[in-house]
Structure 1
């Protein structure tokens, strides 16, 4: 697939209030977004993700680096490049609350110089595809949060831009509406041929709908890979080792030193270690620790892992470690 967005060597710093010190929010971030994919752009709070999103949308100017949208630099050709991207930012929905659902769609289409007659079929399709038809004459301020979110995405679709950027599209939604929004996002790619960039803390959403994820931490890209690859990679590393006896203090100290990310639990009879082996031979280091007291091993089980666990391991430095 061809790239629709190319982010290259982005840097952005902020000056601290009442200080001459600068904070490096984004430090040499590079990645591409391919046409027709759903990309998850993720990062913990303060990682530089929101700053990156705002630079892609043209709301912030990078200190250095470049962003190309459909081949156009969004600094040198700002208006032309931003024609290709629409955004729905959390907490800043693109709606007029005292207009009805239909009036919002017609108003924002009219802002682009299109008459009601010209956009009638598109409005009807959006009302139907987004399950908003029954609410078309309802004032927006009377809608549920889920209905408002669906309408905000539908309004963004009116621009017919190739890329839609969504910030926390399922935040605060009930389970049923969250699943409905997920299906709508898949349809936007499959039926409308658009590209989606999604930023979310809901890792179930990322795991279900995204093809690939870019994770930013401490201002840098720490992972750029497909969801499937990351799940497979971390699943083969994650094990639970059940022991027939408790570890001694000396063994626990060695375990913590060799495998600082490992978790040790114990009950009255036995104990267990949740551990990641970032290199296959690291298991022998664990056996050496157990051999000190000839601690019996009851079972070694490979764990099933979800994307939330993958995300936490990556932002805590797990993927870059060679062992433990």
Structure 2
């Protein structure tokens, strides 16, 4: 990461193109090859991560999603050199993290969930200067950049305040500022908004968006908050049972559904016979009766909405409103992970 204003990205689509176009001229800043982690031996061995291979181009933000036990935490710790893999390699800016630990630590940094990432007795500014020095940076040479970081994370007025006196949200911002102060090639953020109230979480997302756009930082972001992933990431890797089950841009993943979802409100209550018919002919979610109307969602392919309207009209039902419902990443995540256990596999985007 650099503080050069020339690295500023003018278009959000530039980052997404770099994230998904395998023909991009930029070399990968992060290269993971056949990464595996196995605990135990013989019949008692547990495969935590199996044969992970992916590349990340400079300046992209990649989301890492998966249910509990999917292998995300193990993967993150192997990327950081904190866990030695059973097989495979991790290279950051051409440096093998596990063969060159000292160089590796200077090429990738992180804010880990559940960890005290900064020194609470030091002030905000002292923490930023200290963590910058860990990468061999003279803090005096980067004073203006550190001032920019504090401003981006809305910490300027707290610069001389001890971290222990700050709110939880402010402490998290200090951790992030210190991580970006190290100016590593890759930054890993593990649940950066966990435990924050709604307002603090939203503010933090906005500030992360600003700094990523401003400095073109390469970020690996793990979170259970789908809004955070959808808002910040160009590309998403979904893991389950230690394997990658989907890897694509956010826009492509949101297109995983080959059916359009509509929310329909009709006048009055629907008769049970009509409900049964709709469930039989269409993919209909639960009916919700409110006051003098009934609301439900239906997934239909292409122009199937017209057939649905005809079905309602033939049953003597008056349609009040029809609204298109945009799918979100939570639906995609459930679709992708459930597809592995279904008899009919879904078409899952992969790069």
User: TM-score scaled to structure 1, two decimals?
Assistant: 0.79
User: 1:127: which partner in 2?
Assistant: 150
- 158-167 vs 63-72, greater mean Cα deviation: 63-72
SS at match of 2:256: helix
- Aligned partner of 1:66 among 67, 72, 89: 89
Deviations 1:18-72 (A, max 9, x none): x961221112222221211111111111111111111111111121122221122
- 235-244 vs 187-196, greater mean Cα deviation: 235-244
Aligned-residue offset at 1:116: 4.9
User: 2:334: which partner in 1?
Assistant: 312
SS at match of 2:68: coil
Matched, 1:190 2:213: yes
Aligned-residue offset at 1:139: 1.2
Partner Cα separation in structure 2 for residue 105 and residue 31 of structure 1: 32
Aligned residue pairs: how many? Answer: 308
- 37-46 vs 93-102, greater mean Cα deviation: 93-102
User: 1:137: which partner in 2?
Assistant: 160
Deviations 1:151-189 (A, max 9, x none): 101111121112111001111222332222222222222
Unpaired runs of 5+ residues, structure 2, are: 1-17, 19-25
Q: Contact 2:38–2:48 (CA<8 Å) still a contact in 1? A: yes
Partner Cα separation in structure 1 for residue 147 and residue 54 of structure 2: 36
- Aligned partner of 1:175 among 191, 198, 203: 198
Aligned-residue offset at 1:274: 5.3
Matched, 1:7 2:28: no
SS at match of 2:47: strand
- Aligned partner of 1:28 among 40, 51, 66: 51
Matches within 5 A, 1:1-324: 1=18, 2=26, 3-15=28-40, 21-234=44-257, 236-238=259-261, 245-246=271-272, 263-265=285-287, 303-317=325-339, 320-321=345-346
SS at match of 2:178: helix
Query: Structure 1 residues 11, 242: closer, same or farther in 2, change over 3 A?
Result: farther
Aligned-residue offset at 1:118: 3.0
Query: Structure 1 residues 298, 317: closer, same or farther in 2, change over 3 A?
Result: farther
Partner Cα separation in structure 1 for residue 147 and residue 293 of structure 2: 63
Query: Structure 1 residues 320, 303: closer, same or farther in 2, change over 3 A?
Result: farther
Deviations 1:239-279 (A, max 9, x none): 5689954369x989x96xx99x97454869999885656x8
Unpaired runs of 5+ residues, structure 1, are: none
SS at match of 1:7: strand
Query: Structure 1 residues 271, 103: closer, same or farther in 2, change over 3 A?
Result: closer
SS at match of 2:83: coil
Partner Cα separation in structure 2 for residue 189 and residue 308 of structure 1: 23
Aligned-residue offset at 1:199: 0.5
SS at match of 2:206: helix
Q: Contact 1:235–1:302 (CA<8 Å) still a contact in 2? A: no
Q: Contact 1:216–1:222 (CA<8 Å) still a contact in 2? A: yes
User: TM-score scaled to structure 2, two decimals?
Assistant: 0.74
The two structures, once aligned, show a CA RMSD in angstroms of 3.6
Q: Contact 1:214–1:225 (CA<8 Å) still a contact in 2? A: yes
